[in-house]
Structure 1
Amino acid sequence: MREHYIQRDDVTLYAREDGVMGDSAPTIVFANSLGTAMSLWDDLLPLLPKGLRIVRMDKRGHGKSSCPDAPYAMGALVKDAEAVCDHLNVRDAMFVGLSIGGMIAQGLAVKRLDIIRTLVLSNTAAKIGIQKLWDERINAVRTKGLDAIADGVMERWFAKDFANSPAVKKWRDLLCATPVEGYTGCCAAISGTDFYTPTSGLRLPTMGIVGSEDGSTPPDLVRETVELIPGSTFHIIRKTGHLPCVEKPQEYADLLNQFIKDTGHI
């Protein structure tokens, strides 16, 4: 394991490498969702093939990265990911982006095909929600704090059985530990993003993943985005919500491992 703190303009970005060290190894990059940190992928990593360099990052305002004042622009989040990848000399990687991480993945793929060779768009879309919805959420968090919306978020993140189990506490606590500036800053970035046109121009191996019970990015929304890219594949993981890598890590890993094999990534 190797940790990095990478400076880009007004933000310090935290990234971590696991698995094989060295930029000559086949690399997979993970970008996580709103209100989580890179620990989102912890249960998944042991289920991936040996021989990979695994790169994870905390986006600005989340985890161990610094928290500039809100609002943020999606372009800034894409540049953050680009800076991390350039610092670590990531090239020809598989990039797995979940939720806002999937939006960042789309933006980076449009800009830097030298960094991304294959793309996994998980529980994400070219456009998520409408501005009114995001404005209401930003206002609620600023006036009442993240705890006030946390129960509703858990219902969208997880299928009913998981949401009603003790395991949900870890994820509720992680959401509530997110700085308000970081959370609302990223809400603003999502609110201002519509990638339908640029994403429809992408031509690279792409796999879409969604949970059947996803209350944030429902299956039809994810499918619509993935199908913008010719030759893409799409998979639904049953009885999971917005974070299927948490609820069913083995099923999620099976999809990634098959995609790694099919695209000759190892």
Structure 2
Amino acid sequence: MKHSKKYLQLYDTLYHDIQSGALQPGQRLPSIRELVRRSGFSQTTVEHTLALLQEEGLVRTVPQSGCFVSDIVPRNPARQTAPRSPAPVPVPLWNLQTNTIHPELFDMKLWKRCLRETLEDSDGLASYGDSRGDRPLRTALTDYLYRLRRLRTDPDSILVGPSYQTLLFILTTLVGPRQTVAMEHHAPVLARQAFEQAGWTILELESDADGPLPEELKKPFDCLYLTTACTGTKKRALRARQDLYRNLFVIEDDYNGELTYVSGARNALSSRLPQS
């Protein structure tokens, strides 16, 4: 019986050679390169065939040596077809991956309209644009940050970047080297790497469930890096300790942003309105 799939054709050939004794137990099979040359099939096809034979116990693989016919070959002369295809993988009930969003939550019409408007902006497409980020975007973010995080700012104070680590590289370059940044011991590794590569000294602060201890905030340092992607309890405690670092250069990393499920987005530490 001739199969339409190439790997099944090669499978039947090798299967017949093993069952008929043309390939004896313990005998080394031709190399993958040799099987590719003989059959005219691709390396992927050959590798798939050998994997099927190995699953059936007809061949065994020896690292750095190749494939060999098993010492004990299960005999089945009546068999003329390849094994059944594996059962289909069940479709998951919920997709919890973070690299996509649910189609029902994505406004395709709005996306197409924005894309069309962008493509019609020939001047913008023909240049690199503002290195800080397009001003209309920074203006929209200004309003968004106030409505969502009660953060008062202006478009000229916003810098748009591809990742927070890249923005930290830019920030440390603007501030300059030989600075001391204080952070909790569980601060993100990527943030630590950004500061270290900029030549900054890292000072680890002792902390509790509510953030850095008050006495730790009295140590000498130039910049305080705080991770506030947490529950409101910690942020309220940090607010209560603000008098200890009110005059310091503070970087607040709230990587959760508005991605909260049990409450609304929480105000930034520097917001001028009380937390609702």
TM-score interval for Structure 1 and Structure 2 normalised by the shorter chain: under 0.3
Greater strand percent: which structure? 1
Rg (Cα) greater in structure: 2
Scaled by the length of structure 2, the TM-score of the pair is: 0.22
Larger relative contact order (C-alpha < 8 A, sep ≥ 6)?
1
Scaled by the length of structure 1, the TM-score of the pair is: 0.23
